[in-house]
Structure 1
Amino acid sequence: MFDTIRNNSKILMGLLVVLIIPSFVLFGVDGYSNMSDRGAVVAKLGDIEITQQEWDAMHQKEVDRIRASAPNLDAKMLGSDAARYASLERMVNDRLIAVVAEKQLLVTSDQRLANYLQQDPSIAGLRGPDGKLDMDRYRQLAASQGMTPEMLEARVRRDLSNQQVLASLQASAVASQRQTDTALQAYLQRREIQIQRFEPATFAAKVQVTDADLEKFYQTQTDRFRSPESADVEYLVLDAAALAKNIQLPEQDIKTYYEQNLQRLSVQEQRRASHILINAAKDAPAAEREKARTKADGLLADVRKDPKSFAQLARKNSDDPGSASNGGDLDFFAKGAMVKSFEDAVFALKKGEISAVVESEFGFHIILLTDIKAPATPSLEAMRPKLEADLREQQAKRQFAELAETFSNSVYEQADTFKPVAEKLKLSIQQAQGLGRTPTGANTGVMANPKILEALFSEDSVSKRRNTAAIELGNNTLVSARIVNYRAAAVRPYADVKDAVRIQYLLVQAQALAKAEGQARLNEWKAQPAQAQLGNALVVSRDQAQGQPQALVDAALRADPAAMPVLVGVDLGTQGFALMRVNKLVPREEPNAQQQAQSREQFARLLGNAEASAYLSHLKSQFKVEIKVKKPNEKSAS
């Protein structure tokens, strides 16, 4: 049960915050329609202004970040008014917290910054075996985010300082078990229900259809029968992979590259060894380790007397389950595969030699070196395919870097054609037919990328047929596209969609019959409860829906406990209608001590977030924060 709470913590947080603190809503005074000016002010924090251009840039960064982590996410969701408004709210919050951090003189010391950077996984991975930071890779990491190392560190320092504004509030919240139980009881309340479903499919045969009915339905439901907008396009792709195919490599370049990388290409020396392990953990009591050492010394003496008995003694005495049954054989391995003390001993032996007792973190080893595989140097011909591929990739990346600026500038400066840049860079103008604003079967390859489609179906691209800006897709790929033929969404003629109209009409009418039948039964069974024909009882809750539609579960949880058992009807839309009797509340299972501790900790975090939200609301009032665009789906304050 508590795994479910943990997995749905964001939902739970939202519900509990509503219970804990009064909600607050900021109402704007201007709509999106008044923001056509890119420099228009969309929000104010006292004297600080946020412009439309800053907001657009911020939202695009968030979109790019989300797409990188979830490439299959619907692009419409990211471009919706709600998503854009959420970006603006986050931007306002970030600016506000930065102002407060500065006024409260919250700073991050060099030591704290260093400690944070040392613990950051993306930076820790840039350290070499000696623990030193690879500065070239560090600069590349910063450059990938459009910054120098100094800029990256300044941003991290600023973020750490800003975090201090709310951190103390979030960390100070303490939840009692009573508070926790009350909140979780409300959220995880369970109810016993019985259901009778009325599904449209069972009523479809009862629907009477005439041509007049179908034509009337078509006329009143034209939005159901629109053809989506589509476009025929042409596009250019500049990518390193394509450039690599046309690169010719002189033989001398291949030979030189082979000689320069001979050491890297060579196969390391490998050694084959067998061992007898006597287990002794490094933190075991001294007496226990001494006992293990004594046993190992005794076995070493036995092996030296009769080296041929090594495999037999290993099978009988070794504590290594992976090798004991094979007489201690570990097969071939190269340097870096074993713990250091073991590896040092193996690579110091000659073939057939037996080591002294070797101590490691696992215990005590007796090692027999059974074979040596000398390092192999591959021939030029054997390595030629890989060498050529590596060289082509390197040269293609250099070419791409040299041509990228020309490509970007040309598609912008000559925005009504691709011919000049295609001829100049020896690129092929490609075509695609019937593309939609969102990926469909017609969208393949780069033309299925949401970033391309968003730019392609922008107002400027559709109305003026201009090339899109050069769009970077990663992996050294730039794309620009332009619409050559655009078809707006339109209602399809009745004759073309008559079959679809019939299907839709039958479905709508069957839904109506199902609902009417359900309502009739609801009235009958309310008057005569004993006549109700319902299914077997089952228990549902927010975290255990038992496969039932969400609307039905919500209706069960809304039922008044004082009126139970109570009969309710639930409209399930395309799934028909359901009659449900909510019989009783079912107490949730009593948590054990560990679960109680976990729930208190989770609820304390929620309380901390609620305190932080309340403080943030106070700060918005104090600093006279004003968002000057209307919140989606809400009317402006009057």
Structure 2
Amino acid sequence: MLMTIRDRATGWIAWVIVILISVPFALWGVNEYFSTDPQVYVAQIAEEKISQRQLMNVYQQRMDRLRSQLGSNYRPGMFNEKQLKRLVLEEMIEQTLLLQAIQQQGFAISDKHLAQQIHATQSFLDEGKFSQARYERLLSSAGFTAVSYEMEERGQMVMSQLSNGIVASALPSVEEVEALVKLRDQLRKVAYLQLSAAAFSDEISISDAQVAERYEASKSLYMQPEKANLSYIELRVQDLESLIDVDEETLELTYQEQQVQFLSEEQRRASHILIMVNDEAADDAARTKIESLQARIRAGESFESVAKEASDDVASAASGGDLGLFGRNVMDQAFEEVAFSLTKGEVSEPVRSSFGYHLIKLAEIHAPEQKSFAEVREQLLETVKRERAEKLFYERAEELANLAYENPESLDPAAETLGLTVKNSGWMTRAGGGSLPEDPKVTDAAFSKEVLNERINSGVLEVTADHMVVLRLYEHKEPEQKPLDEVRGEIKSTLLAEATKARAEESAAEMLKQVAAGEALQNIAGQKGASLNESLWIKRDDKALPQSVVKGAFVLPHPDEGSSTQSVVSLPKGDSALVVVSGVKPGKLAGIDTAARQALQSQQLKRRGDQSLTAMVELMRKATEIRIFEENLE
């Protein structure tokens, strides 16, 4: 970057820029020599520290998960990076506190329990059975070794152990569940009068003076927002691909160079017998046992029957130790080396892997197969065009940055040199709009001091890794007051809605007094704007009635026998409702079947356990010195 500025910019200003950029790099280099601790920390919990790198790793994992979950709906900038990073840090602090509690309480997970958990994990099953090949392949693709994955899984299991211990201590009694059912499944007999605000519109007259008064009092509500109309040029890899021609000779040459990529890997099918080694002390015993099993097979017993009887790999043992087909870089390295050295039908000597001792029997060898040029031609064409377009993109991106910088008052030189079209965004506000890509970086640049006030080109804005934009101001409109005549109708409608809503509320309040005095709903239902909705027995989750009516009904006190309780609630469109509850029936535990009762007890158990766990974390926070280094969160 420094060389580019030096070569392309001229005059003393350019040299000042070079010096200003160089000084921080130089000082940074000096700091590296004098720093005693290269780690930068973002938090400290008692004696344990969380580094900036750890935070960024977890943050990036969270972002990757969000991108995966949202798919095509994901947009750069849709999440506030600072807020999300802080949320991740808080979760890491809580996890650290819990791990400290685990160490103090002495929770532990046995190797056998860990193995059972891994063998029961759905992702590692193939046709309902644990697959060693699938297990190791998935770990490898996720960047784990068997040791690192099992360490992390053990940690998660210990965390669950702590959580389950807390939950178990919060076991709800039958009485508590019954009380919950009484409330949850409670029925209430509800009738309501709906007062239509629109029915009172003929009583309301809005004068010009009222409109003018509201306009003057609320001018800030009636403003045209600031607007900008931008000129811009964009550089995209997909546009460059259309400019690239690839001849047949190049494709054939590429095929020859990359033939190995179109060669399916050799695959092997093997069975194994595993004797797990849980600690170093058990190594000799495991070795002795695997040798005794080897002797039985050499004496004539079938490999499959011995695997079913003796293998510690429970999932594969059921099928005689069969692991299915697998290729290179899937299995444990020591296991793989032996498996790929065997001939068909051969049984290996004992093999030591990270899991324990194995005997391996090779069942099948699937030789590699070469795809023809015709089969992969379109794939090759797409790949070559993409590679060339990407190379051209990065070359032109640097040239675009230089041209936009050297010609700050126009996009034309960059457009003409690079064969791009200067486009117009149309009017946009700070909330977006127009034809520019929807990205906070783009909107921020459009309304930046450089673009709006200095009227120079923006920097190169990276919308995505293969899409860049440079923009400049074409037209600008400051926020301006809308004239009264333009908003007169809007203000009049607002005032009318407010007035009719107030009249409906007044009418409902009067009716409330009448019902409270003993008047029947049916007797006042004929009053102006009122419509009666007859009594219904409803539950808390009723969807037939307006939700404000349901909510209002269930916050009212229980009525005495033969009487009612009442309240007024608001409805959409300014309407009001007089809600009357004339009966209450508690939910009954006896009416719930065993499965539903157990589910309810589990829900209550989880709720109380979560509350207890949250309370525990809060107590630990108060009892532990926690420091957050805000300056290192940027």
TM range (shorter): 0.5 to 0.7
Equivalent residue for 2:487, pick from 497, 503, 506: 497
Q: What CA distance in whole angstroms lies between the structure 2 residues aligned with 1:105 and 1:180?
A: 33
Q: CA deviation at 1:537?
A: 1.4
Matches within 5 A, 1:142-541: 142=143, 165-170=162-167, 173-233=170-230, 237-255=234-252, 387-388=377-378, 391-397=381-387, 399-400=389-390, 403=393, 407=397, 428=421, 430-438=423-431, 442-443=433-434, 447-448=437-438, 467=458, 470-471=461-462, 473=464, 477-480=466-469, 482=471, 484=473, 491-530=481-520, 531-533=523-525, 534-541=532-539
Kindly tell me: are residues 183 and 587 of structure 1, through their superposed partners in 2, closer, same or farther at Cα, counting changes over 3 Å?
A: closer
Residue 557 (structure 1) aligned with residue 550 (structure 2): no
- Residue type of the alignment partner of 1:512: A
Q: Quote the residue 1:69 is aligned against.
A: 69
Q: Which whole-Å deviations, capped at 9, do the CAs of 1:186-213 have from their partners, x for residues lacking one?
A: 3443322111112222223332022111
Q: Quote the residue 1:316 is aligned against.
A: none
8 Å CA contact retained: 2:255, 2:380: no
8 Å CA contact retained: 1:192, 1:538: yes
Kindly tell me: are residues 572 and 130 of structure 1, through their superposed partners in 2, closer, same or farther at Cα, counting changes over 3 Å?
A: closer
Q: Which whole-Å deviations, capped at 9, do the CAs of 1:471-491 have from their partners, x for residues lacking one?
A: 464xx6344465636656554
Kindly tell me: are residues 405 and 584 of structure 1, through their superposed partners in 2, closer, same or farther at Cα, counting changes over 3 Å?
A: farther
Q: What CA distance in whole angstroms lies between the structure 1 residues aligned with 2:388 and 2:117?
A: 35
Q: CA deviation at 1:520?
A: 2.4
Q: What CA distance in whole angstroms lies between the structure 2 residues aligned with 1:603 and 1:559?
A: 25
8 Å CA contact retained: 1:240, 1:393: no
Q: Quote the residue 1:17 is aligned against.
A: none
- Residue type of the alignment partner of 2:581: V
Q: What CA distance in whole angstroms lies between the structure 2 residues aligned with 1:109 and 1:408?
A: 57
8 Å CA contact retained: 2:463, 2:469: no
Q: What CA distance in whole angstroms lies between the structure 1 residues aligned with 2:451 and 2:260?
A: 52
Matches within 5 A, 1:44-193: 45-46=45-46, 65-66=65-66, 69-70=69-70, 79=80, 89-97=90-98, 99-100=100-101, 132=133, 142=143, 165-170=162-167, 173-193=170-190
Q: CA deviation at 1:246?
A: 2.0
**SS of equivalent to 2:596:** helix
Q: What CA distance in whole angstroms lies between the structure 2 residues aligned with 1:114 and 1:460?
A: 61
Kindly tell me: are residues 378 and 95 of structure 1, through their superposed partners in 2, closer, same or farther at Cα, counting changes over 3 Å?
A: closer
8 Å CA contact retained: 1:236, 1:429: yes
Q: What CA distance in whole angstroms lies between the structure 1 residues aligned with 2:182 and 2:538?
A: 14
TM-score (normalised: structure 2): 0.57
Kindly tell me: are residues 523 and 599 of structure 1, through their superposed partners in 2, closer, same or farther at Cα, counting changes over 3 Å?
A: same
Structure 1: 5+ residue stretches without partners: 1-39, 266-376, 630-638
Q: CA deviation at 1:553?
A: 2.2
Kindly tell me: are residues 594 and 158 of structure 1, through their superposed partners in 2, closer, same or farther at Cα, counting changes over 3 Å?
A: closer
8 Å CA contact retained: 2:170, 2:608: yes
**SS of equivalent to 1:447:** coil
**SS of equivalent to 1:523:** helix
8 Å CA contact retained: 1:222, 1:491: yes
8 Å CA contact retained: 1:237, 1:427: yes
Q: Quote the residue 1:604 is aligned against.
A: 605
8 Å CA contact retained: 2:167, 2:606: yes
8 Å CA contact retained: 1:239, 1:400: no
Kindly tell me: are residues 540 and 170 of structure 1, through their superposed partners in 2, closer, same or farther at Cα, counting changes over 3 Å?
A: same
Structure 2: 5+ residue stretches without partners: 1-39, 264-370, 526-531
8 Å CA contact retained: 1:191, 1:540: yes
Between the two proteins, what is the percent identity of the paired residues?
Answer: 19
Bigger CA drift: 575-584 or 537-546? Answer: 537-546
Q: Which whole-Å deviations, capped at 9, do the CAs of 1:588-628 have from their partners, x for residues lacking one?
A: 36211221122112222222212211211111111145789
Residue 592 (structure 1) aligned with residue 577 (structure 2): no
**SS of equivalent to 2:245:** coil
**SS of equivalent to 1:511:** helix
8 Å CA contact retained: 1:177, 1:596: no
Q: Which whole-Å deviations, capped at 9, do the CAs of 1:523-577 have from their partners, x for residues lacking one?
A: 233234224433211233332232413x332221110115561121113364421
Q: What CA distance in whole angstroms lies between the structure 2 residues aligned with 1:501 and 1:609?
A: 50
Kindly tell me: are residues 178 and 120 of structure 1, through their superposed partners in 2, closer, same or farther at Cα, counting changes over 3 Å?
A: same
Cα RMSD of the aligned pairs, angstroms, is: 5.6
Question: How many residues of Structure 1 are paired with residues of Structure 2 in the alignment?
Answer: 466
Q: What CA distance in whole angstroms lies between the structure 1 residues aligned with 2:393 and 2:151?
A: 32
Kindly tell me: are residues 249 and 76 of structure 1, through their superposed partners in 2, closer, same or farther at Cα, counting changes over 3 Å?
A: closer
TM-score (normalised: structure 1): 0.56
Q: Quote the residue 1:543 is aligned against.
A: 541
8 Å CA contact retained: 2:500, 2:574: no
